[in-house]
Amino acid sequence: MEGPGQEAYEEGMRRSLDPEGYEDPGLKSSHLSLGEMSTVSVTDVDLEAAGSRRLLSQPDSHEGYVELHELVLDNAKDLCWMEAGHWLRLEEDFQESGDWSQPHLSFLTYHSLLEIRRALSKGAILLNLEANSLPAIVHILLDQLIYEGQMKPQDRDDVMRTLLLRHSHPTEDESVWTMPPALVQRSGTGRADVERPLLREQRPMEMSRMAGKEQSGVPKPQLLETIPEGAEATLVLVGCAAFLEQPMLAFVRLKDAVTLDGVLDVSTPVRFLVVVLGPDTPQISYHEIGRAIGTMMSERVFRRDAYLAEGRQELLRAVEDFLDASIVLPPTEAPSEPLLRALVPLQRELLRRRYQPLERLHIGDFLKDLGKDEAAEEDDDPLRRTGRPFGGLVRDIRRRYPKYLSDIKDALNPQCLAAVIFIYFAALSPAITFGGLLGEKTKGMMGVSELLISTCVQCVLFSLLSAQPLLVVGFSGPLLVFEEAFYSFCSSNGLEYIVGRVWIGFWLILLVLVVVACEGSFLVRYLSRYTQEIFSFLISLIFIFETFSKLVTIFKQHPLKREYRVQAEVQPGVPEPNTALLSLVLMAGTFFLAYFLRVFKNSSFLPGKVRRLIGDFGVPISIFIMALADFFINDTYTQKLSVPKGLQVTNATARGWFIHPMGDTTPFPIWMMFASVIPALLVFILIFLETQITTLIVSKPERKLVKGTGFHLDLLLIVAMGGLAALFGMPWLSATTVRTITHANALTIMSKTSAPGGKSQILEVKEQRISGLLVAVLIGVSILMEPILKYIPLAVLFGIFLYMGVTSLFGIQLFDRILLLLKPPKYHPDEPYVTRVKTWRMHLFTFTQIVFLVVLWVVKSTPASLALPFVLILTVPLRRFLLPRIFRDIELKCLDADDAVVTFDEAEGTDVYNEVQMPS
């Protein structure tokens, strides 16, 4: 029954309100009821990539904070609103034990979600409401509720007083658990029935059993420190009113967020207000309805839809999409944890559908709405060919050099100084290691001295002139393998190794000029994961094999015997006691210590900053500890690192700082001057592969670099500098993958305030030239560390070499699939290349890579080892033309996809090596 003043009131409302501005004339009928869901956190990048139902030129959304307040009676028997929980992506609710729960996923009832769906189809919807205080909002809201017949005019004052009651926040003594729920009565009635259980016995099981173990005494988190800047809040009010005949829901979106004093526990402006009031009924749990609303408003996609909605229909569609992405567990026996894990793949599939695949987007309209067009986006592709000689090089210079001044200014930041110290040790350790091993393999023709000076000079020039100064230039494993093979070739053919490198350098300069003129860097697009993994696995095997080969050599030179003829001085060819055993201990100790510190970095011991600091400096710490152990063992001989004093070459009797192209001791054969083009092509392939793939990795969109990159310019600089370095008997270098990723991560500034359970977001990357420049200078100065470096045993460097080989295997899918050959299918991981490809076909794909690995190893072990890069390149046509005839397209996409995840916050067992497919 409607009151006698209903018609008059509605007539007045028609004159003062514009109902069309608030309601959608679509759905008119239904009863009230509400719903459920599980919270999933995605980044803004995901949302913008997936697209909302509207383009982003519509009103933008913000990070969401939600508070749920319930109507209770305080200790003085006065009505008030008490906070029952809040959301910041995850839910935190106040426990009966008197403390806040840990952030957890919300587990909701399906009935509550259905109730919300029904309520929105009939409730009051006010969008873009202009009001700057809670009384103003309530005044307009009540007028709308009366106009729509959700509330009687005579109840207006009672509901207004209820909505404007004071708001409290829980303490150990006062909370929704200690205060009885309230049932609001119409004015003039007695208060005998004011206390009525608000279905408290139906408190969700999730709050007591599914939220994880409670930790008593846990203080309330400092929300002001965890709420991101620019966040906007949602206030959810739920309670019982005896005079209402049916539940009513009101959804309010303010035009501008307003700070409501004395309402929220934090000073976050409120953008949304959701009110649910209704009669006390056993069929409806208002607490569950409030939790469901809070969970929905904390979910990014639904909240964005709430920001962009223009009417009731779009809100209803958002709820339906939310329900489509939710999972309902049937009322069966409590499943075990392994059975519940089976829900994860289903949830991932639901999320994939929720965030819409890119092929369903209207990309053209999307870019036009942002003021861009597809041609402009394509024009910015650094690998796009211009069709003009050196066109790509010119575009690289025009793209990057105008930002040169900012490259200097951006370095004026403390984070850059910290990165310099970190990267210095990260670059110095492999320089010393590879320098020592290079001296061993070339009989002192090049060693630590040459490598340190070469690294210093080339890094200085690269930092000043490059298009991507975040790249760290250095010596790497593939180049070491080539140097050994070329030295063996020259020795067996009576050629001067150091002079042959000069002619290789000349050809390198000519080759890189031809490739850059033809814009050949685009060829990196054809290097799939198939080729990269075969190469990476081969280099890792060479590292591991060479380590044990050297150890076996030491055991042959110093065998284990009952008696030794110990001399006062160490004599060549005379076995020394305990040398082999100590070398084994030093090598194994260095490897296990470096590996342990790598694992320790991502463990749960010590504060995160401390263990990451220890883990990042794991290699130099390992070298220092094991060298110190060797120093204190005086009676046992171990071979030490050969380092000249000052700026001397490693072997001053065999060469000087300038290498004469026509030969130092004997004339260099003219035929070899021209034949050097073949090994030059091999070196070029190695440098091209590692440099361009490293540039691709560091330029991934997830890293949010804004100044652009330059494949052509950087390749020209690195190869040309290496070619000229050969004139001075110094090694050529390439971009190093692990060190480059580490450098980029060190210069990445992450957000310090993020929601519980959420990942930090990138604020900016300090793209500048000074950190690389300072690191190069410090490495050059390190040549004066000869008094310290001469105490490092070679066995310690062998341990680091073994560490590089083993850790390079991590992140190589080929290695994972080889291990799967030894596992029953039921123990296979939940990866696309396992779940979407038949097991025998996955093994067939692995077998093709193993066969090519064997071929490459055979080539490497023969006098034709210089042809190794040529044979490797044959994997490109094999992958592009032969494998598609054997495997279906979907299988190749799963087995050969570049799915390496960009690593910022490293999880346990994961670090930058998992992102790297090239050894360095």
- DSSP code string of 149-192: TSS-GGGHHHHHHHHTS-EE---SSSSTTTSPBBEE--TTS-ST
Q: Are 744 and 703 in contact (CB under 8 A)?
A: yes
Residues 353-382: what's their mean pLDDT?
A: 49
Residue 418 per-residue DSSP state: H
CA distances from 753 to 719, 750, 762 (A): 43, 9, 11
pLDDT of residue 509: 92
For the chain, what percent of residues have pLDDT higher than 90? 9
Count other C-beta atoms under 10 Å from residue 662's C-beta.
11
pLDDT of residue 41: 32
Determine the Cα–Cα distance for residues 36 and 328; give it in Å rounded to an integer. 9
Determine the Cα–Cα distance for residues 711 and 519; give it in Å rounded to an integer. 9
Bigger pLDDT: 61 or 65?
65
pLDDT of residue 847: 92
pLDDT of residue 881: 87
Residue 811 pLDDT > 60:
yes
Determine the Cα–Cα distance for residues 200 and 180; give it in Å rounded to an integer. 9
pLDDT of residue 745: 76
Cβ burial of 572 (10 Å; 0-12, 13-18, 19+) is: exposed
Residue holding tokens 């009051």?
124
pLDDT of residue 334: 62
Bigger pLDDT: 348 or 718?
718
Residue 514 pLDDT > 80:
yes
Residues 788-811: what's their mean pLDDT?
A: 80
588 confidence band (pLDDT: 50, 70, 90): very high
Q: Are 32 and 249 in contact (CB under 8 A)?
A: yes
Q: Are 132 and 258 in contact (CB under 8 A)?
A: yes
Where are the alpha helices (H) located in 726-838, listed in sequence order? 737-746, 770-781, 786-789, 794-809, 813-820, 832-835
Residue 365 pLDDT > 50:
no
**Nearest to residue 533, comparing CAs of 893, 853, 888, 315?**
853
Determine the Cα–Cα distance for residues 231 and 61; give it in Å rounded to an integer. 9
61 confidence band (pLDDT: 50, 70, 90): low
3-state secondary structure 660-698: CCCCCCCCCCHHHHHHCHHHHHHHHHHHHHHHHHHHHHH
Residue 452 pLDDT > 50:
yes
The residue length of the chain stands at: 920
Residues forming a β-bridge with 100: 94
Question: Pairing relation of β-strands 79-88 and 90-93?
Answer: antiparallel
Residues 508-523: what's their mean pLDDT?
A: 88
pLDDT of residue 920: 52
3-state secondary structure of 232: strand
Q: Are 505 and 723 in contact (CB under 8 A)?
A: yes
Residue 75 per-residue DSSP state: T
Residues 749-756: what's their mean pLDDT?
A: 57
Cβ burial of 519 (10 Å; 0-12, 13-18, 19+) is: buried
pLDDT per residue as tens digits for the range 689-726 = 888 888 887 787 777 788 888 888 989 999 999 999 99
Residue 665 per-residue DSSP state: S
Bigger pLDDT: 711 or 42?
711
Pick from 42-51, 385-394, 442-451: least confident: 42-51
425 confidence band (pLDDT: 50, 70, 90): confident
Query: Can you give the pTM of this predicted structure?
Result: 0.63
> What token pair was written down for 544?
């591991």
Q: Return the ∠ at Cα 415 (arms to 411 and 417), rounded to 5°.
A: 70
Where are the alpha helices (H) located in 493-563, listed in sequence order? 497-517, 529-557
User: In the chain, how many H helices and how many E strands?
Assistant: 38, 14
182-186, 296-300, 703-707: which has the highest mean pLDDT?
296-300
Determine the Cα–Cα distance for residues 699 and 322; give it in Å rounded to an integer. 34
CA atoms within 13 A on the CB side of 510: 12
pLDDT of residue 282: 79
Pick from 24-38, 67-81, 168-182, 859-873: least confident: 24-38
pLDDT of residue 499: 86
3-state secondary structure of 195: strand
Question: Pairing relation of β-strands 248-258 and 270-278?
Answer: antiparallel
Residues 252-263: what's their mean pLDDT?
A: 89
Residue holding tokens 């959804």?
251
CA distances from 437 to 353, 482, 569, 680 (A): 52, 13, 25, 22
End-to-end CA distance of the chain: 81
212 confidence band (pLDDT: 50, 70, 90): very low
Helix, strand, coil shares, percent, the chain, to 5: 55, 10, 40
Pick from 100-104, 338-342, 629-633, 794-798: least confident: 338-342
Count other C-beta atoms under 10 Å from residue 342's C-beta.
10
For the chain, what percent of residues have pLDDT higher than 70? 81
Residues forming a β-bridge with 87: 66, 91
Residue 106 pLDDT > 90:
no
CA atoms within 13 A on the CB side of 362: 10
Determine the Cα–Cα distance for residues 793 and 536; give it in Å rounded to an integer. 27
Q: Which strand (E) or helix (H) includes residue 484?
A: helix 477-492
pLDDT of residue 386: 80
pLDDT per residue as tens digits for the range 530-572 = 887 887 788 778 778 878 888 898 898 888 888 888 777 777 7
| Phi then psi dihedrals of residue 240, to 5 deg | -105, 140
- Please provide the DSSP assignment of 78-144 as one string: -EEEEEEEEEESEEEEB-TTSSBPPPB-----HHHHHHHHHHHHHSEEEEEE--SSHHHHHHHHHHH
pLDDT of residue 460: 92
Bigger pLDDT: 263 or 641?
263
pLDDT of residue 270: 92
Average pLDDT of the chain, as a whole number: 77
pLDDT of residue 207: 40
Bigger pLDDT: 53 or 266?
266
Bigger pLDDT: 315 or 739?
315
Residue 57 pLDDT > 70:
no
3-state secondary structure of 283: coil
